[in-house]
Amino acid sequence: MPVQFVYGNKDFIKDVRVNTDNISVLACESRFDSAIQDGWTDRMEKGVLRYHLGDLQTRILPGPCGFVAQLNVKRGMERRKPQEILSIQQNFNTKQFNFNKVNPDEIIFEMIKESEEEHEIAHQPYKTVVLVNVSPLEFGHCLFVPDPAHCSPQLLTRLAIQAGIESVLLSSDPAFRVGFNSLGAFASVNHLHLHGYYLKHQLNIESMPVRPLLPEKGFYTLVGFPAGFLFYTESEAVKDVASAISHVTDFLVEANVAHNLFMTRGCPPCEEDDKLLRRGVRIAVWPRVSCFGTKEESTLNVALCELAGHLPFKNKTDYELATESHVIETIQHYLLLHDEFLQLEKQLTQHLMML
């Protein structure tokens, strides 16, 4: 029987700041961080992961984007072969690998939210199982899998988005990030899941300027590279913002537009003057060009990490020779054309206004 991690709104960490080294000013580690980090480290030491992840060689690429490049050769060599993806709305296939087939030792815990009103476990249609990622990108790399037995394809739901945002709020460490790759956006497994991991380097997305679209729904456009949308929420509005994000991703799925999401502690929109404030969560949504077939193993597969400014490299040569201009050129290849993005911005704004 997996360990249960029961939490409520009272467990959200609201007052988080960072210093210039991206370290939280809070002295104590949260209960959530302890559960993730201790469980993940235990599995690594027991050999559950495919390789032992040490301190990854890391460098910040010169330039205004502040890209964080990391060398992770073993992930490129030893990760599971990605599935062939042919459609953003591809059906779940029980014959392919899915998270019901994992080694039970990979399970860290099950997340269950407590009802704040009735002081009992809330009745939910599914639970969220937290697994170690056996081919980790970084320290603590785990997978959030909403009710694996439900066999949901890789299509975001409101509850999955809400669980992702809440996991960031449960962490007192601003280095904890959560992300999602849709089908056609370099998702490797067609079974609903989000990624979570720790990256102790600041990313531009945490404080990037924004332009308001519907601020009453937490909806903005990023003013900077790469072009995308941004939602922002603090602990009191998680459910409403998760619902708005879900309406956006549902719209993208219906329009057959692939997309990546990235959730991280960040400063409030339009308050970028205080760039060290981290009391809320920024959720970036990047619509992008679809990539179908078997996931290519190129130098830089542009997915949730790369769009957020975290660049995992599979070989030392590419890692050492990478430049900001080359990375921008590579990422730009996967983004929508400017006119297409502006048209989508207009459509999504109108769509959310009608709700």
| Cβ(281)–Cβ(266) below 8 Å | yes
Residue 160's nearest CA partner among 116, 120, 191 is 191
Whole-number Å distance between alpha carbons of 44 and 234: 33
CA–centroid distance for 317 within its chain: 27
Whole-number Å distance between alpha carbons of 333 and 317: 22
Annotated catalytic residue, options 193, 195, 247, 259 = 193
Whole-number Å distance between alpha carbons of 170 and 12: 5
CA–centroid distance for 223 within its chain: 20
| Cβ(131)–Cβ(148) below 8 Å | no
Identify the helix (H) or strand (E) that includes residue 283: strand 280-288
Asked about 310 being catalytic, the answer comes back as: no
- Read off the tokens for 170: 């449960």
The residue written with tokens 């990605």 in the block is: 82
Task: Give the phi and the psi of residue 300 in degrees, each rounded to 5.
Answer: -140, 105
325: left (phi over 0), alpha (psi -120 to 50) or beta: alpha
| Cβ(77)–Cβ(315) below 8 Å | no
Sign of CA pseudo-dihedral 132, 167, 286, 354? positive
Beta bridge partners of residue 262, listed in sequence order: 179, 284
* Nearest-5° Cα angle at 123, 122 to 128: 85
Burial class of residue 48, CB neighbours in 10 A (0-12, 13-18, 19+): middle
Catalytic residues: 193
